[in-house]
Structure 1
């Protein structure tokens, strides 16, 4: 967070965020009870943090394996030239198995998190979708064997 935004938060704001990080479905009245303030105060604080861009929405966490997505991998992407970045971003957005895309430093231009139902599906995603994007020079793929840590930042 930039110092400008950080300076606009107080201890109550941080306490609210901490509770929501632990369970984003906590009702505002429950948060108010825990924080010893009114429900209206929580609404006002939430609106402030949304306006500041600190809270961007909420997400549902899915157990992807139970939905048939058993393979998770990371793809290091080499882009052929800087002018190709935007078109590569746009094409990667169209691949629904790409769940994250990061612009990176180091060896790769980009790093993507990709989910698939099987190794065969992953092969298809890599060969028919990702590697066919104009501007991608080549890729390196790393299959995730497990995810022993999965957490949000603590404030």
Structure 2
């Protein structure tokens, strides 16, 4: 499969993604009306975006703070190389407060975003993370305030703009 082809978005793709992001409950027919294209065009574009992995879900976005998890932290983990990333990731996956984990370069091996109900609860979560023998050390940074929430629409628009300039 041609990777370059997978990353190309045009303006209609970008507008469709923006519309579905801002109004996730909108139907295909209403999308076609607002974008002024045929319903079949919207459905075909949507299917293509899903097949290519550009759109990977339609689930609601849940705010951890709104359900009581008001502390967000980023944890860098150093793991024992004989254990490998797979078993450590399986351990982390079993901890509900671990929202995501990424293999990283640099002084650590994994970077995790975790949430907790309080600073004391954060200690409990960290103890649970560190209970696994394959994790040697954790370095934690507590997020004080969110300045830019997770977003992809500016990136989608930039990708469409690059495609349009080609």
TM exceeds 0.5? yes
Contact 1:85 1:135 in 2 (8 A): no
Structure 2 match to 1:131: 130
Aligned-residue RMSD, C-alpha: 1.9
Change (3 A) 1:62 1:35: same
> Between Structure 1 and Structure 2, how many residues are aligned?
153
Cα distance, 1:12 vs structure 2:
2.0
TM-score normalized with structure 1 length: 0.88
Change (3 A) 1:82 1:43: farther
Q: Which runs of 5+ in 1 are unaligned?
A: none
For 2:34 and 2:3, the matched residues in 1 are separated by 28
Kindly provide the CA deviation profile for residues 68-98 of structure 1, in whole angstroms up to 9, marking residues without a partner as x. 1111111110112164211101111100100
Structure 1 match to 2:4: 3
For 1:16 and 1:147, the matched residues in 2 are separated by 27
Structure 2 match to 1:86: 86
Divergent runs of 4+, >3 A: none
Q: Which runs of 5+ in 2 are unaligned?
A: 158-166
Cα distance, 1:53 vs structure 2:
1.6
Cα distance, 1:112 vs structure 2:
0.4
For 2:74 and 2:150, the matched residues in 1 are separated by 18
